[in-house]
Amino acid sequence: MSSLSKTLSGSGNRKKFTISVWIKRTFFGSSGFIFGVGTASTDTGKFSLFFTTQDRLLVEGGATTFKQTSRRYTDPSAWYHIVVAVDTTLATQNDRIKIYTNGVLETDFESNSGPSQDLNGPVNENGKLQYIGLSGAAGNSFKGYMAHYHHIDGTQYAASDFGQTDSTTQSWIPISQPNVNYGTHGFFFKFEDASNMGLDSSGQSNNYSV
């Protein structure tokens, strides 16, 4: 897919956010970033969501590997619904970052940590350049397809806010118009217009550039 980016203007919520996206991978054994912001080697200066060379999903700050799944995402025919939900204000460290795959909360990790309580990270920070499909250093592009990409500024949502089980097939499917509050820097990319891939359909007009 093409990568997207935007330099944020104005303050958002740097403690609470949710990323929900459907992805289909087409290349394996190589790093591929879903989302990246910042390059500093501190947890306040960098946040990344990406697949590792071992095809595991990893969430990290600039100085900390927060969570790396034991699950490997290696099915070339599968669409995966990935949700990463963050709330650094929570008392329990393990609850500050939650990862869901196809509606199921991940509990088996190669690495399992969390940000310090009340950490103000770089996501939704004024002046930061946020990337979709690249790292914060504009490298290691995502190889594959994305659909229904939601970014929520200010709320830690669950996967069930964006997806549901089909009553006929019992498969996990997207909710086309989820009832969520996108917040200041939130957006919803449908990727329906090839000439304007960064068009925001959330009503917030937070469009990104290709």
| Residue of 114, 134, 131, 102 whose CA lies nearest to 33 | 134
Distance CA 26, CA 56 (A): 14
67 φψ region: left (φ > 0), alpha (ψ -120 to 50), beta (else): beta
Sign of CA dihedral 167, 149, 70, 30: positive
Residue 147's φ and ψ, nearest 5 degrees, are -150, 155
Q: Exposed (0-12), middle (13-18) or buried (19+): which is 5, by Cβ within 10 Å?
A: middle
pLDDT at residue 107, as a whole number: 97
- Tokens describing residue 92: 């329990």
User: pTM for the complete prediction?
Assistant: 0.97
Residue type (1 letter), 145: Y
32's enclosing H/E stretch is strand 32-37
Per-residue pLDDT of the chain (210 residues; tens, 9 = 90+): 789 999 999 989 999 999 999 999 999 999 999 999 999 999 999 999 999 999 999 999 999 999 999 999 999 999 999 999 999 999 999 999 999 999 999 999 999 999 999 999 999 999 999 999 999 999 999 999 999 999 999 999 999 999 999 999 999 999 999 999 999 999 999 999 999 999 999 999 999 999
Structure token pair of residue 26: 């087409």
Vertex 13: Cα angle to 101 and 5 (nearest 5): 70
- The single residue listed with the structure tokens 């830690």 is 156
Q: For residues 36 and 49, is the Cβ–Cβ distance under 8 A?
A: yes
For 91-207, strand residue ranges (E) read: 97-101, 104-105, 109-112, 129-132, 144-153, 163-165, 172-174, 187-189
pLDDT at residue 16, rounded to an integer = 98
